Amino acid sequence: MAKILVLGANGQVGTVLSEALRRRWGREEVLTSDLNAPRQQSGPHLLLDVRDEAGLRKVIEENGVRQIYHLAAILSARGEKDPLQTWKINMDGLLNVLESAVACHLERVFYPSSMAVFGPTTPREMTPQEASFIPATVYGISKYSGELWCNYYAGRYGLDVRSIRYPGIVGWQSPPGGGTTDYAVEIFHAALLHGKYTCFLKPDTRLPMMYMDDSIRATLELMDAPTEKIRHRTAYNLTAMSFTPEELAAEICRHLPGFHIEYKPDFRQAIADSWTASIDDGCAREEWGWRPDYDLAQMTADMIKQLNSNPDLLKG
Ligand code: NAD
Ligand code: SER
């Protein structure tokens, strides 16, 4: 297998996923791309806007790309600041990838969806794989529409496109890029640098979450799974844990006893309230064997250990 192209590789997930792919397939086999240069370059990287049809086609053909991981997107909180621009980037980017994948006969495409596809009509506890989804954000609308387009391309053209509805992702390696779950990363930096944090969500806002290591492993396991195992071509529900800001703060206090949290909810509270509290990921477990490794206590301990060992990554 050769040449993987990662789109939106400079982001929170792309930074870590690109490294994992390079460890596995070799530095030269994984081509990263984004609007800008990466903070640290560890292999071939090019500047590419995902909406650039001719540009994407040229990159695929000139480099013999066989698989695409399409991560480029505007996330939930940032997306509400310019809904139409968010729709254009998230949808035009995806349609460009799907069209190019069919035209260039790519082997496989990964498209990350999100728990943001859930909305006020969706069951809040143990959200099933299929239910009523009427997302309240432009980001959620674009991700749900994206899932439907992936399902369409799989059925109409036989494109092997695979997708996960990621919950909120928490990791130490890279900063988050404008989501509603960003508090769960910021809190660790603030705790270690200042001993206190002002949270933009209410203390009892329960959301599904996952440690970065689990998210990356899930992505690779889904992409490795034999084709006959993949029965869902929209996106798989996936989760590892659910917690509130209050519960996360209490867990951090077990490591940093003086840590203090305050709450000043802003517009992101309404976004979080439109999502669900826990997810049933039974289909991913049954069809391709998904199992998370990290719970809240294990994630918290590892975040603190890793950030203490890499103080240059701390952001205040
Ligand atoms: P991020 O915001 O950190 O990174 C997104 C990257 O896309 C950025 O580097 C940005 O420069 C790039 N980008 C934006 N517009 C672009 C364009 N027009 N052309 C090329 N690149 C462009 O996001 P992330 O957290 O790394 O998320 C990656 C993917 O995973 C996204 O599709 C997101 O919807 C999905 N996801 C993430 C989370 C999470 O908690 N991080 C949860 C659910 C789903
Ligand atoms: N973590 C993401 C966000 O908050 C969910 O897709 O936007």
Q: Which atom of ligand 2 is nearest to the CA of 181?
A: 4
**Cβ contacts of 307 within 8 Å, gap of 6 or more:** 172, 188, 189, 192, 313, 314
Contact 58, 50 (CB under 8 A): no
Sign of the Cα torsion 299, 73, 63, 218 reads positive
Does an H or E element contain 261, and which? strand 260-263
Class for domain 3-167+211-237, per CATH?
alpha beta
Rg (C-alpha) for the chain, rounded Å, is 19
Report which bound ligand comes closest to the CA of 137: 2
Closest-approaching ligand to the CA atom of 76: 2
- Ligand 1, pocket-test mutation among 19, 34, 92, most atoms within 8 A of CB: 34
CB of 168 closer than 6 angstroms to any ligand 2 atom: yes
CA dihedral (95, 101, 103, 104) in degrees, to 10, reads 150
Residue with token string 């990263």: 32
> What is the CATH number that goes with domain 169-208+240-277+293-313?
3.90.25
Contact, 142 vs 90, CB < 8 A?
yes
- Strands of 30-34's sheet, edge to edge? 45-47, 30-34, 4-7, 67-70, 108-114, 161-166, 236-237
- What local confidence, expressed as pLDDT, does residue 5 receive? 98
Catalytic residue from among 111, 139, 166, 183: 139
> What is the amino acid identity at position 231?
R
Over its length of 316 residues, how does the chain's per-residue pLDDT go in tens digits? Answer: 459 999 999 999 999 999 999 999 999 999 999 999 999 999 999 999 999 999 999 999 999 999 999 999 999 999 999 999 999 999 999 999 999 999 999 999 999 999 999 999 999 999 999 999 999 999 999 999 999 999 999 999 999 999 999 999 999 999 999 999 999 999 999 999 999 999 999 999 999 999 999 999 999 999 999 999 999 999 999 999 999 999 999 999 999 999 999 999 999 999 999 999 999 999 999 999 999 999 999 999 999 999 999 999 998 7
Give the pLDDT score at 316. Answer: 78
Predicted confidence at residue 272, as pLDDT, reads: 98
Q: Could you tell me where in the chain the CATH 3.90.25 domains are found?
A: 169-208+240-277+293-313
Active site annotation includes 263: no
CA dist 113 and 79 (Å) reads 15
pLDDT of residue 1: 42
Give 256 Cα–ligand 2 centroid separation in angstroms.
27
> CATH 3.40.50.720 residue ranges in the chain?
3-167+211-237
Cβ of residue 96 lying under 6 Å from some atom of ligand 1: no
Distances (CA, A) of 179 to 55, 158, 161: 28, 33, 24
Taking CA atoms, 63 is separated from 2, 56, 60, in Å, by: 10, 11, 6
pTM of the model: 0.98
Count other Cβ atoms within 10 Å, centred on residue 207: 24
What is the 8-class DSSP label of residue 169?
A: E
Query: Residue 245: left (phi > 0), alpha (psi -120 to 50), or beta?
Result: alpha
Supply 109's token pair.
């495409």
Mutate to test the pocket of ligand 1, among 47, 166, 186, 219 (most ligand atoms within 8 A of CB): 166
d(CA 237, CA 284): 7
Distance between CA atoms of 99 and 190, rounded to whole angstroms?
A: 43
- Name which of 141, 31, 62, 53 is nearest 102 in CA terms: 53
Reduced to 3 states (helix: H, G, I; strand: E, B; else coil), residue 316 is: coil
**Rounded Cα gap, residues 90 and 141, in angstroms:** 10
Written as six digits, the tokens of 146 are 């994206």
Scan for tokens 């192209």, then name that residue. 5
Residues 6+ apart with CB under 8 A from 285: 291
